[in-house]
């Protein structure tokens, strides 16, 4: 019989990691760089959203359409250029800014990056609705996905992330409020 996995952080209150919040705020203010954000994210817990997706409905006895079956789905963001991104959030507050009905699943940043690559996504979009959106893409996405699989120690991580972030296409996404709903597409999460 399958067992329910234990939470990544059993006593997690859903708050954002203070070092990630500080690095994102400094990056947004122009006093910090993407390497500091990447370094903070490298060991952080993120929240990946899942939402209920109606798969079958029926008309009830009062003539109203009602849910018959639903599945849990991983939302995927799709940009104007067709590239996909996996949304992830630093905490419950930023998740609720994006979509109040989404349920959080804890995952380490490297796990989220590996999942994005396995889903053929071009990026992991952190806090898409704010307070500071940050895209993990390109070489940085691959570098963060490789954490835990690299033979090098922690001392080698920060210089590598700093070098990658200077040359990689690390961006901050600016999504107009009225267009956010148009960018979201639900896709069934296949295991």
The mean per-residue pLDDT over the stretch 23-43 comes to 93
- Residue 59: the pLDDT is 67
Mean pLDDT estimate for the chain? 76
**pLDDT digit string, tens, across residues 161-176:** 555 555 444 443 333 3
pTM value?
Answer: 0.71
Helix axes 138-146, 109-118, angle to 10 degrees: 120
Q: Which residues contact 44 (CB under 8 A, 6 or more apart)?
A: 17, 19, 20, 90, 108, 109
Nearest to 88 by CA among 65, 111, 69, 54: 111
Top-confidence residue, 10 or 190: 10
For the chain, give the number of residues.
Answer: 191
The mean per-residue pLDDT over the stretch 128-135 comes to 94
């Amino acid at each position: 019989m399958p067992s329910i996995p234990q939470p990544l952080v059993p006593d997690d209150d859903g708050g954002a990691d203070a070092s990630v919040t500080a690095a994102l705020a400094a990056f947004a203010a122009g006093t910090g760089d993407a390497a500091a954000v990447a370094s903070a994210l490298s060991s952080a817990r993120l929240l990946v959203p899942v939402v209920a997706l109606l798969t079958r409905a029926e008309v009830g006895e009062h003539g109203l359409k009602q849910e018959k079956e639903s599945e849990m789905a991983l939302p995927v963001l799709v940009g104007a250029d067709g590239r996909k991104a996996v949304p992830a959030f630093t905490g419950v507050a930023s998740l609720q800014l994006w979509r109040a009905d989404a349920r959080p699943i804890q995952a380490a940043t490297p796990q989220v990056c590996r999942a994005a690559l396995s889903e053929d996504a071009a990026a992991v979009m952190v806090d898409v609705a704010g307070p500071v959106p940050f895209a993990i893409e390109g070489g940085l996405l691959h570098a963060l996905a490789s954490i835990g699989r690299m033979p090098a120690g922690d001392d080698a991580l920060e210089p590598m992330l700093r070098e990658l972030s200077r040359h990689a296409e690390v961006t901050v996404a600016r999504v107009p409020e009225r267009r956010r709903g148009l960018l979201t597409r639900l896709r069934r999460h296949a295991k």
